[in-house]
Structure 1
Amino acid sequence: MGLSRISAVLVTFLTTQFSLGNGSADTVTYDWRLTPIMTAFDGVLLETLGVNDKPCDEAVIEVELGQEVEVRVTNELYDASCLHWHGMKQLGTQEMDGVSGFTQCFIEPNTTAVYRFKPDKAGTFWWHSHHKTQYAFGLRGPLIVHAPESDLRDCQKEIDEEYIIQLGDIYHTAPTFGPALWDTIVINNRGRFNCTAAALNNLTECSSNQPLSNFYFKEGRKYLLRLINMAAMAPFEFSVDDHEFQIIAADGEPVQPTELINAIFINAGQRYDIVVQAKNDTQGADSFWMRAKGLSGLPWMARSADTGLPGFNDEGLAIVRYNAASTSEPTTQKCEEIVTVNEFDFTPDTVAVLPTVPADRSIIQFNISAAGGVISLDGGEYYSLAIPDEPPLLTISNGSTTADLPITANARAIEYGKHVEVVLVNSMNEQHPFHLHSHAPWVVSSGQAAAEDIYSNNLPPLKLQGAMVRDVYTVPPCDTDDNNYCINLGYLILRFTADNPGVWMMHCHIDWHMDIGLSMIFVEGEKELQQKGPNAFSSSLLSQYGQVMHRSGLPATLAALLSVQVSVQLGHTNAAVVAYDWHLTPIQTAFDGVMLQTLGINDKSSHEAHIKIELGQEVEVHVTNELSEPTCLHWHGMKQLGTQEMDGMSGFTQCAIEPNRSATYRYTPDKAGTFWWHSHHGTQYAYGLRGPLTVHAPESETQSWDEEYTIQMADIYHTPPPPGSVLWDSIVVNNLGRYDCTAAAIHNLTDCESHQPLSSFDFQPGKKYLLRLINMAAMATFEFSIDGHEFQVIAADAEPVVPTDLINSIIVNVGQRYDVVVQAKEDTEGVGSFWMRVKGLTGYPWTARAADTGTVGFSDEGLAIIRYDSGSRSEPTSEKAKETKTIGEFDFTSATLEVLPATPDDRSTMRFNINTTIGTGIVSLEDGEFQTMIVPDQPPLLSIASGLTTADLPISANARAIEYGKHIEVVLMNDVIEQHPFHLHSHVAWVVGSGHASAEEVYNNKLPPLNLNGPILRDVYTVPACDIDEKGLCVNVGYVVLRFKADNPGVWMVHCHVDWHMAIGMGVIFVEGEAELREKGPDAFSSSLLSVCKHAPSNELGGSKLDGSTPSEPKP
C-alpha cells in the first residue's frame, strides 16, 4: 500500500517537517526535536509536548515493509525523555525498544539519540514517550507500515483511500490524589470543551468555536480507517453515525473480515483497521458524526462521569463529510442498536495450533494500593516497579543474572526458545489493558475464577487452536458481591514463543497506572544476552549510563528516590534570620542495616537536617529539588500567620517545586517548642524526607535541665507496601535500628549489615535531661520508655503542660511530640547502660494488621542506648518495667487555663472512612456524600484570593468555609475499627470531648458535656476507633470534639497523619476568612511558591516558573 493514500495535509507535513526519505529508499529518516508547545486541542489553551514545534498527531512515521526507520531525537524539553515504538518487534535491535532505565538510558535535556529499527510486519502501530506520563500530555503519534502491493489481501485491494484516526484523552492539569479522569476526548487532537466550565476551572484562555477534525468521503468509495487509541486512560466505543464497517486487522495482525458492525470497543494502546463503504446516495444528509465515546465507571474505571470536573466531556466528535464545501455540522443520531464484535472473538488470518502444555507458566497478579501499582510474581510478595540504577539490558549482557536485579525491578527470567504461558490476574473491580513489549501473544483464555483455581491451574479449557493474536489485551475485572468486594479474580491467559532475547516490559497501558509502578519485566534469554555482551548494543542509547544522572521515575508512593548534593547551613544563632540551603537529594543508606535508596538533604540522612533557632528569629530555607518528581515541605506546628503560602501543601497553598527548581520558605515561629518538618507530597516523608525543627525559648523562660536530646522515632519500609492494610518493616530511633539479615535475604535484600550500630545518648549521674520526642512515622503509634528510668512530661505538641507525676512510658501517635524531663541516676554502679525502647503498637485499635501478619523479620520495637559510661561499647542487659505508669493523651493539665464559650459560632462534622474496594480515604462533610480528596487544578489559596468562593471549588477538594474571627467547633467522626491521628494545619485546637456515640447523636449534638474549662491544646489528636459488635462491625462511631479560634485567614488542610491514608485522600480543607483572603488578593503571596501555577486567573501572576521564567512544558 503506497503513500498515495495519505491525506494531502499529512504528505505536506511529512516532506517539509520530518525529512521523510524517498519511498524506495532502504532507510526512511526523520529528524525530530521534542519541544514544548502551546496548543488548544479542545479549545483550552494548554502547555503540552510536541515534535518540531507542532502537535504530534502530525508527526506520522510512514514506511513500506522492508524499509528501515531512523529517527534522530533531540530532546529540547525540560525533562528527560525516551520514545517507544509500540508494536515493533525489536529483534536484534533490543536497545531500540525505548523504555528509559530498562533498555536504554534517558535522553537527557539538550542531548540527542538515534533510534534505528526495521519493522517485521505491515500494519497500524504508534509511537509514544515511555518516560513518566509524557504521552498523556501529547508526546504520541502514528506509525504506519505499508504492505507491498503484491502482499495485499483481497479486502485491502478494494480500498480507495485511507485515514488515520487518532483517539486521545486530554488532561488540562496533571491528575493528583486518587483515581484519574480525563477532561475531554479528542479525535486527531481536536475536540471541544465548554468554555463556561473552563472559566469555573480557572482555564481562562478558551475558544468556544473550536474546529473539529473532518474526513472527506466520496459516494461509493471504500475507506480504510486506521483506528488508534492513544489515550492515557480512556477506553472508547467508536462509531460513525449511519455507517457500518468491517474489521480487517487488530493490533497490526490480519483477521478475517468481520460481518458488518456499527461500533467497536477499543482499549488504551489498541488499534483496528476498519473498512467503511461510503454511501452511494447522500441526498438525505451530507455529513455524519464520527463518535469516540469514553467509557467511565465500573467495570471500566474507578471513577464515573458524574465525578468529573465541570465541563467533563466523555464523547469526542469528528465529521465525515460527503460535501467538501459544506461547513454545517451534522444532525445525525447514533445507532440505537449496537452491533459489534468482542475483543478476542476475531478469526485470525493465519490459524496457529499451540502446544497443550507450555514449557513455562508465569502468574502475574496485580493491584493498586496506597503504595501505587503493585505486582506479585508467581505468588510472591507485591512490589511496585522501581527503575534500577543501570538498564537491565546492559547489566544482564554484562554478566549479571535476573536474580541479581533489585527485587523492585519485578523481573522474571524466561528461557530462550521456550513456549511460555503468562496468566495475568486482576485483583481489582476495574479492567486493565496490558501490553508486553516486542511480542504479540496469543490470547487463549479470559474470565473470572478463584485465586486457588488460577494458581493450581484448575481453569476452563484454553483455546489452543485459532487463538487471537493481540499486543494489548484487556484483563477483566474481578467478580464482585453486593457490596462491590472482589470474590473471584479476573484473569487473562497468554501464550508466546520466547524467540527474542531481551529485557521486555509488561505493564498496564493506562499511563497513570504504569507511572505508579504497575509493571514488570521479562528477562528473555539471559544466556543469549550474556553471549552478545554489552558491545552488541548501540552506544547512542546505552553507553551513557556512567555519565548521566539516573532518575528513577518511581511511583508516587515511593516518591523520587534519586541523586545530588550540598551542605546544610545553619545561620548564626543571634541573627535575625537563620538561613538554610537545602538540596533534596536521593541517597543510599541503611537505617536498619538494609541498604536502601531513600531521600535526604544534601546527600545526608534528613534526621541531620535539624532546624534550630531562637524564638523571635525568622527561618529561611532555600530548597532546590534534585529529585525526579515534584515536592514541597511542610513545617509542622508552625502558625503561618501572614505567611499562608509557606505552609508547604503542594496544590493547596503553593505550587509544587518541580525537579531541578528552587523555592524559598520564610516564616517566623510564634512560639517555642518541639516541632518537625516533612515533605507533604505523595508519601515522600515515609521514605526519609523528614527532620526536626526546634524553637528555643529565651533562657529566662527555660526550665532547669542540663542538656537536651532530640529523639526522632520512625518506621521503615524496605519496599512499597502491598495492597490492603499497611505494616512497616522495622522501627528506628534517630534513623538507626536493626533488621534481621537472615530475613532480609529471604526478601532478596542482599545488602544487609547484621551489626548495625544503634543510637546512643550519654547521661551523667545526677544531671537532668530534656528529651524532645517526635513521632515522625508514616504509620506507627509508639510506646516510648527507658528501662530503669521515670520521667515527667512538660509539653505536648509544643504546648506547655503542668509537669506530670513521674511516669515510665508514654504513647506518642504519628506527628505528636512530647518534651519529657529525665532525672539521670545518681548511682549506676554495676549497670552502665539502659535500653531506650520505642514499641510500635499493632493490631486493633491501633492498626488493621497485627504483628503476626508482618513479613518475615518484621520488627515492632526500635532500640537505642542510654550510656552512663561513654567509653563503653557493651549493650544493655536491662529489662522493661513490668508495671506501666503513663498518662492519657488528653489528660494533661494545660499550663494556661482557658474557659471556652458554651456555644460555638459554627459547628462542623467530618466523618471519615476508607473505601477498601478502590483503596481511597473518604470524608463526609456535614453528613453529605463521602468524597476522596483530590488536589484542584490550582492552589485554592490562589483561586480564593483571586475572587473565587469555596463553593466554586470542585466538590472533591472537600472544602468547608469558616468565617474569620469566629469560635469554631469541629467533630471528627471515625467509621473505622482503627484509630486515626488527625492534624489541622496552622492551628492548635482545644480538645474538649472524645468517646463513642451513634452517628445520630453526633449530628444532633447529643453528646456528653464538653470540657470547656481548661482543656488541653494539641495539634495532633487521636480519633478513637469505632465501637464494634461481636462480628467486628462498627456500631458507634469514635469521635473527637475540637474547638479553635478562626484567627488566621488561609486554606488549611485537616487530614489523617498516617501518611498512607493522607496519600489516598483522607483529608479536607478549611477555607478560613474567604472575604479577608480576597481583600489581600493573590499579589500578597510570595511569587516563589504560587506564581508557578500554569493557569493563574486572568494570568495575574504571569504564569512564571519558580525561577521566574516562562513555562515551557507541563510536568506530568
Structure 2
Amino acid sequence: MPFTSVKLSLLIVIEMVHPSTVSLIFEWVVFRYLGKISFSVYLLHVFVIYIKPIEEQVNYYDRTISEFGLVILLATASYYLVEYPSQLVAQRLSRVFTRLALYDHYQLLSISAVADVVAYDWRLTSIMTAFDGVLLETLGINDKPSNEAVIDIALGQEIEVRVTNELSEPSCLHWHGMKQLGTQEMDGMSGITQCVIEPNSTAVYRYAPDKAGTFWWHSHHKTQYSFGLRGPLIVRAPENELRAVEKEIDSEYIIQLTDIYHAQPPPGPVLWDTIAINNLGRFDCTAATINNLTECDPDQPLSSFGFQEGKKYLLRVTNMAAMAPFEFSIDGHDFQVIAADAEPVMPSQLINSITINIGQRYDIIVEAKKDTQEASSFWVRAKGLTGLPWITRTGNTGSAGFNDEGLAIIRYDSTSTAEPTSQPHEDTVTVGEFDFTPVSPVQLPSTPSDRSLVQFSINPAVGGIVSLDGGEYNPLVIPDEPPLLSIASGLSTSDLPATTNARAIKYGDHIEVVLVNEMSEQHPFHLHSHVPWVVGSGYASIEQIQKNTLPPSKLQGAMVRDVYTVPGCNTDDDGLCVDVGYVVLRFTADNPGVKPNPKDPMSDEVSEESANSGGAHSDICLLQLKPRFSTPYPLYRPPKVPMGLLTSLALFLLAINQASAAIARYYWNITHFNSTAFDGVMTPGYGINNEPTKLHPIEVTLGDEVEVHVTNQLTEQTCIHWHGMRQFGTQEMDGVSGITQCQIQPNVTAIYRFTPDKCGSFWFHGHEEVQYAFGLRGPLIVHCPYDQLQSWEKDIYKEYTVLITDWYHEVPVGAPIWDSVLINNVGRYNCTVAEAAGKECVAGQPLPRFQFVAGKKYLIRLINTSAMSAFKVSIDGHSFQVIAVDGDQLQPSTTVNSVFLNVAQRADILVQAKTAPSQSQVSQRKTPLGSFWLRVNSLYGLPWTALPVDQMPEGFNPDALAIIDYQSGATADPTSSKWTTEVSIGEFDYKPLNPVVLPTVPDQRMVVEFTLAVLPANPDSFLGYMAIDQREFISLVIPEHPPLFTIAQGAATKDLPTSANAVKLKHNDHVEVVVVNETPDQHPIHLHAHSPWIVGSGHASRQAILDNNLTALRLNDPMQHDVFTVPECLTDNNGTCTDLGYVVFRLTADNPGVWIMHCHIDWHFVLGLAMLFVEAEDVLHKLGLAEFSSNMLSVCNGAGNFTI
C-alpha cells in the first residue's frame, strides 16, 4: 500500500476512535512526523472547500464515503495549519467548519468552541412613514421602520444577516464599530469593500463581533441612511465580564437620535427639517402645508421610557443622524458615562449634558429619582446644534417649520398621558469628547512607525477633496471594481486610481495620522475597522502640522474613539481660515484590508505568479452575482496576495454626496431689506428671508432638478428669472413677469421647478420693474459631475464665485448712472459726500478677501449682475485663462490679464497661484507672497453710458476692489500695482469647446432695429423701441394676460396686442437675426431660453444691413452668448448716426415657448426696449395649458388677471 494510503487509513481509524477535538491534535502530530499529505489530496480539499458551493460540498459526500471525505478535510486542515500558521488562515478554516456544521446531518465537529450563529432575514423595502407627523416615503426593513430591526446578541455569537434588496436602486449595509478582522469583505462599504447589492439580489453578511458594546448598522450607499435605513446593533458582555457598575443596572433602553429630511436636500450646506428620538418627533403641520407637504398629523406621539423610583437605568444613546450633532440631556436628571463608542471608560463625574456627534455612542447610567411627587414626567432633549462651528447653516435659514430639538418623555407614572412641564438645566455640566478615562489605559510609543498628513476640504465643483501627505487634492470617486477585491486579485495600492485616495500601510506598524480641517465647520470622521487612540486635537498653522511642531501628544491613557470630531479652522473677520483644526490619531495596523500571501503572511512582497492568479479584474463583481454568492454561505478562496491596509477604504475617504439626480429645494420669502450698507451708505433694498440675496445661492449638480418656493412678502408684485436656463419643456418657469407667468402678488407663493441643461455659472434676478437693480439677484451654479469635467478642471484646488454689480442709493433721475461698484455686495463710497447729502454712512467697509495657497489652481466664476455697468476685471500680478463664458465651455484661452464683462455676462477663469519663494530666497530676504488687488473697473461715458464723463455726480466711484491673499489672517491692504499693458480677448473671439458649422443660408432672416427716443407714438415719453423687418417702432407693453398662456390656449401670434411686439418662429427653423443699434451707446441684448451663435458684429449703413450686404459671417466655430454687446452707431460731428452698430446671431427654433429679447440694462428694459419671439406656435397649441404647472396657473388666479 502506498505511503499516502497508509496515512489516510491511519487517519480514518483516528477519526472513528477519536471523534472529538482530540482527533485534530492527533492528526496534527501524525502529519508533523509522518510527512506531508500528497498534492492530489490537497487539490481535492481545494475543490471541495473553495470551489464548490456549500450545498454541493455537502451533497458531494455520499453517506457511503462521508467519513472518508471528512477525514481528508480534517487531515488537510491540520496540514494547512502546520504549514501556514497565520491567524487569517485559521479563521478561514474555522469559518468553513462552522458553515458545514449548520447542516445537522453533518455535525462533523465535536469542537465545543464553535459559537452560536444568530441569523436575521432582512428585505430592504420602501415604506410610508410619518416619523414627525409628515407622511413621507422612507426606507425600512421587512416593510417596517428600520429602528425596529434591532440586532441584539451576546459576545461570542456570530451574526448572519441575509439582505435581499427590494428597492429600485442598489444598496449595502455597514456594521458600524465592527472590526471585521478576517471578514474584510463584510464591512459593507458600497463599491469599496463589496460590490453593491443590486435590486432583487441577496447578499449574506456574516461576522463575529470582537467586543461588547453599543454599535449600529446603516446603509453605506449614497444617502440612504439619511432616509431611514439605519438601526441599533447591541453586543452584550457575558455576566462574568460585567463591571461592578454594570451589575447594578436594573433595566436599559436604546435611544436612537436622528435628523429627518422631508426631501433630498439641495447641493450646498445642508439643514434638516426636524429631529426624532426613536423615530418619533413633531413637525409643525401648518408649516408643512406651506412647504406643500399635504399629509401631516398634528397629534404625533413621542417616545417614552418608563422609570421606577430609585432604580438604575442604562441608556444606550446613539447619534444616527446624517448631519446633526446633538446636545443630549434629561430634565431634572444627572447621569454618568460608562462607555464611549463601545469602549468602556471609568464612570464619569455626574453630568447633565453630553455632546454627541454623528455616529458616536454613549452608554450612560441614570439613577431614577427617589421621590416624584412634584413631577412624574420629564423631557428627554436632543438639541440639534446649528451654526458655526458645528454646521454652516443656522436655524433661521431652515424651511418653514424647522425644528432643532427632538423630545421624548421619561415617565414614572405609566398610566399618565400628560406631557411634562419640566425645564432644561440652567447650567450645563459635561465632559469633553476626549476627556474620559479609559478602563484599560495604555502607553503608546513616543515615535510612530509611520506618520501621514490628511488635509480635507470641500470643493463646490466636485464635493469633498482630500490631500494625502501634501499631495494633490482628489475627490473620492467610487472605482469600477471594489478596491478590496482588486487588491485581492493582484493589484497593488499604487495601481488604484488616484481618486480612491488610497495609501498603503505596513502590517504591524504603529501609525500616526493627522487629520487637518481646512473649513470653518467641524467634521466627525470615522475609520472603519479600527478604534484609534486620539492623542491630540486643537488648532495650528499648516506649517506647524507639516513640521510636526504641535503640542505634545497624550501618549499615556489616551481615549479611543471610532468617531472623532475634527474641529473647524479658526477664522478672521472675513471668514477666512487662520489656523486649521486638527486631530492626531494613533493605531496599530493589525487588521489587513486584503489577505496575506500564505507562504509568508508578514511579507510585503509577492511573486508574479501568485499576484496574477486571482482571476480577471472585470470578473470580480460579476462573480459575486453568480448563484454560489447568492447562497447563505459566501465563497472563500485561499489567500493569494500580500497584505496592505487599504486605508482608502475608511481613513482617507472624505464622504461626498454621491447621490444621483435629486430635487434641490429652496424656500424663499422675498422681503424688503432695509439695513443694507453694502458700500457704507445705508440703502433700502430687496432680499431673501430678510437677508441679502448673496446669502442664498443656488448650487446644484448637473442632472439635479431645481425647485424654488417663492413667497412674495413685499407690498408689490414680483417674479424671478433664472438667467441662462433653457427651460425646455418648462416654459412657464422662465420667470418673466407678465410674459411667461402672471406676476406673483403679495402674500402669494409661486413654485419654480426646472432642470438645468448644462453646467456653468448662471444667476437669478427679479424680472419685475427694477427690483434686481436694488438687490434681488444672486448666483446659480451648476456643477459638472466629476467624470464630465475637462482635464484642466480636475486639478482645481478651490473655486470662488465673484458677483460684480453696480449699486444705486436711489432710483436715478434722468440719464442713469450708478453710485458705486460692489464685489460680493461690498464696496466703498465716500462717506463725506454721503453725509453732506444727509445719508448715513459707515466708512472703511472691509473688502472681500479670497485666500490663495501658493502653487494651487483656482476657478473664479465672474458674474456681472449689474443693472447698467460693463466691467473689465483684472488681478494684479496674475494672468489667467478663460474657460467658459455665459455657461458655454471654451477651449482654454491664451493667457490674458483682463476680461470684459457686459451686463449679465459671466466668465469662468482659471488662475494659477504664484509659487512660494524657496528657503534660499527667503534667506536672501526675498519678499514672501503677500496680497494682491483684484480690480473691477466700470466703463462709463460714451459709448458705455449716455451720461458723459464730465457729468458724473459727486462721489461717483466707478471701481471696486477685492483682495487675493496668500497670508491667512492678514488685514493690511495690498500694495500691488495694476498691469501696465492690457492683454485680453474680444467678446466674440474665444474658441468654443464643441465647435459647429452652421448652414450657409438660414430658413428665416429678420432685421430688428432698436432705439431710445421720444417718438410720435408716445410724444410725452422717452422710451425704448424695437422695429421688426422695417415695421413701426414699438415699445413693449406687458399684455393683460401672459402671452405664453394666451398662445397655449389657442391664440395666434398675430392675435397678440401690437404692443407685445411679437414675431413668429417656425418650429426647428434655423433663424438669422440682425440686431441693429441706432443709438450712440452700446447695449447688452439678452435672448431668453437660447444661447445663440454670434456670427457677425460691426458697423454698416442701414441699407447694407437691409440688403444683407455685410462682412462675411463666421459660420464655422462661432461663439455662443446668451448676452451679446450690440455696438453703438458711429456718429458725425453733429452726433448723428451714420453707420449703425449691429450683431448677427443664429439660432435653431427647437424650444417651443414665448421668449423675450431685451436690453439687459435694467433701466432700458423698463422703458420697453424689448420684443417677443413666439417659437413653435403650433406645438404650444397642442400642449395647451394642461401641460403647465398647476401652481403657476394658480398664481394667475390669485392675481385676478387671468382665468383658467
TM-score in terms of structure 2 length: 0.51
Q: Which residue of 2 aligns with 1:37?
A: 127
Q: Which residue of 2 aligns with 1:377?
A: 468
1:581-604 deviation per Cα after TM superposition (whole angstroms, max 9, x unaligned): xxxxxxxxxxxxxxxxxxxxxxxx
Of 880, 885, 894, which aligns to 1:814?
Answer: 885
Q: Which residue of 1 aligns with 2:277?
A: 187
Distance 1:542 1:991, change over 3 A: closer
Query: AA paired with 1:84?
Result: H
Is 1:482 the counterpart of 2:482? The answer is: no
Q: Does the Cα contact within 8 Å between 1:890 and 1:1016 map onto a contact in 2? A: no
Q: Which residue of 1 aligns with 2:360?
A: 270
Post-superposition shift, 1:851? 4.8
Q: Does the Cα contact within 8 Å between 1:113 and 1:540 map onto a contact in 2? A: no
1:283-302 deviation per Cα after TM superposition (whole angstroms, max 9, x unaligned): 00111000000000000011
Of 327, 344, 352, which aligns to 1:254?
Answer: 344
1:896-937 deviation per Cα after TM superposition (whole angstroms, max 9, x unaligned): 21135788999xxxxxxxxxxxxxxxxxxxxxxxxxxxxxxx
Query: AA paired with 2:143?
Result: D
Distance 1:543 1:250, change over 3 A: farther
Distance 1:1018 1:302, change over 3 A: farther
Q: Which residue of 2 aligns with 1:850?
A: 911
Distance 1:991 1:904 in 2: 24
Distance 1:153 1:133 in 2: 38
1:495-517 deviation per Cα after TM superposition (whole angstroms, max 9, x unaligned): 0000000079xxxxxxxxxxxxx
3-state DSSP of counterpart to 1:282:
coil
Is 1:429 the counterpart of 2:526? The answer is: no
1:551-572 deviation per Cα after TM superposition (whole angstroms, max 9, x unaligned): x9999899979xxxxxxxxxxx
Of 384, 387, 404, which aligns to 1:294?
Answer: 384
Tell me which protein shows more strand as a share of its residues.
Answer: 1
Q: Which residue of 2 aligns with 1:72?
A: 162
Post-superposition shift, 1:112? 0.3
Tell me which protein shows more helix as a share of its residues.
Answer: 2
Is 1:392 the counterpart of 2:483? The answer is: yes
* Structural mapping, 1:650-689, within 5 Å: 652-654=752-754, 682-684=782-784, 687-688=787-788
Of 348, 352, 362, which aligns to 2:438?
Answer: 348
Is 1:459 the counterpart of 2:550? The answer is: yes
Is 1:898 the counterpart of 2:998? The answer is: no
* Structural mapping, 1:517-556, within 5 Å: 544=623
Q: Does the Cα contact within 8 Å between 1:171 and 1:184 map onto a contact in 2? A: yes
Q: Which residue of 2 aligns with 1:723?
A: 798
Post-superposition shift, 1:885? 12
Query: AA paired with 2:456?
Result: F
Is 1:1084 the counterpart of 2:1187? The answer is: yes
Is 1:230 the counterpart of 2:305? The answer is: no
Q: Which residue of 1 aligns with 2:242?
A: 152
Distance 2:149 2:260 in 1: 18
3-state DSSP of counterpart to 2:390:
coil
Distance 2:485 2:1124 in 1: 58
Distance 1:637 1:346, change over 3 A: closer
* Greater mean alpha carbon deviation, residues 175-184 or residues 552-561: 552-561
Post-superposition shift, 1:981? 13
Q: Does the Cα contact within 8 Å between 1:500 and 1:524 map onto a contact in 2? A: no
Q: Does the Cα contact within 8 Å between 1:57 and 1:140 map onto a contact in 2? A: yes
3-state DSSP of counterpart to 1:393:
helix
Q: Does the Cα contact within 8 Å between 1:905 and 1:966 map onto a contact in 2? A: no
* Structural mapping, 1:3-152, within 5 Å: 26-152=116-242
Query: AA paired with 2:142?
Result: N
Query: AA paired with 1:435?
Result: H
Post-superposition shift, 1:369? 1.5
Distance 1:440 1:1082 in 2: 60
Q: Does the Cα contact within 8 Å between 1:557 and 1:684 map onto a contact in 2? A: no
Distance 1:994 1:345 in 2: 69
Post-superposition shift, 1:721? 3.0
- Where in structure 1 are there 5+ consecutive unaligned residues? 1-23, 505-522, 562-626, 658-679, 690-714, 728-777, 783-809, 819-835, 856-881, 907-940, 946-963, 968-979, 996-1009, 1021-1037, 1051-1076, 1092-1096, 1098-1116
Distance 2:536 2:607 in 1: 31
Post-superposition shift, 1:325? 0.7
Q: Percent sequence identity over matched residues? A: 53
Post-superposition shift, 1:717? 3.9
Distance 2:560 2:277 in 1: 26
Q: Does the Cα contact within 8 Å between 1:994 and 1:1040 map onto a contact in 2? A: no
Distance 1:554 1:448 in 2: 20
- Where in structure 2 are there 5+ consecutive unaligned residues? 1-113, 596-600, 628-648, 662-700, 708-721, 741-750, 758-779, 803-857, 863-880, 900-906, 917-980, 991-1004, 1015-1020, 1025-1043, 1049-1058, 1063-1083, 1093-1121, 1129-1136, 1148-1159, 1175-1179, 1198-1204
Q: Does the Cα contact within 8 Å between 2:706 and 2:753 map onto a contact in 1? A: no
Q: Which residue of 1 aligns with 2:893?
A: 839
Is 1:469 the counterpart of 2:572? The answer is: no
Query: AA paired with 1:683?
Result: H
3-state DSSP of counterpart to 1:373:
strand
TM-score in terms of structure 1 length: 0.54
Post-superposition shift, 1:91? 0.3
Q: Which residue of 1 aligns with 2:931?
A: none
Query: AA paired with 2:885?
Result: V
Q: Does the Cα contact within 8 Å between 2:173 and 2:217 map onto a contact in 1? A: yes
Distance 1:498 1:82 in 2: 26
3-state DSSP of counterpart to 1:150:
helix
Query: AA paired with 1:417?
Result: G
Query: AA paired with 1:480?
Result: T
Post-superposition shift, 1:483? 1.9
Distance 2:1022 2:589 in 1: 70
Post-superposition shift, 1:100? 1.3
3-state DSSP of counterpart to 2:1011:
coil
Distance 1:885 1:322 in 2: 77
Distance 1:543 1:389, change over 3 A: same
Query: AA paired with 1:174?
Result: Q
Distance 1:422 1:48, change over 3 A: same
Distance 1:175 1:1090, change over 3 A: farther
Query: AA paired with 2:1188?
Result: F
Distance 1:69 1:109, change over 3 A: same
Distance 1:421 1:76 in 2: 42
Q: Does the Cα contact within 8 Å between 2:725 and 2:756 map onto a contact in 1? A: no
* Root-mean-square deviation (Å): 5.3
Distance 1:162 1:528 in 2: 51
Is 1:358 the counterpart of 2:448? The answer is: yes
Q: Does the Cα contact within 8 Å between 1:417 and 1:499 map onto a contact in 2? A: yes
Higher relative contact order (CA 8 A, sep 6+): 1
* Structural mapping, 1:319-358, within 5 Å: 319-358=409-448
Is 1:440 the counterpart of 2:494? The answer is: no
Distance 2:302 2:234 in 1: 23
Distance 1:525 1:114, change over 3 A: farther
Distance 2:755 2:888 in 1: 28
Distance 2:296 2:555 in 1: 53
Query: AA paired with 1:839?
Result: S
Query: AA paired with 1:292?
Result: A
Aligned length: 687
Q: Does the Cα contact within 8 Å between 1:419 and 1:498 map onto a contact in 2? A: yes
Post-superposition shift, 1:985? 4.0
Larger radius of gyration: 2
Post-superposition shift, 1:490? 0.5
3-state DSSP of counterpart to 1:43:
coil
Distance 1:528 1:162, change over 3 A: farther
Of 496, 503, 511, which aligns to 1:420?
Answer: 511
Distance 1:292 1:990 in 2: 51
Distance 1:33 1:150, change over 3 A: same
* Structural mapping, 1:843-922, within 5 Å: 845=899, 849-851=910-912, 895-900=1007-1012
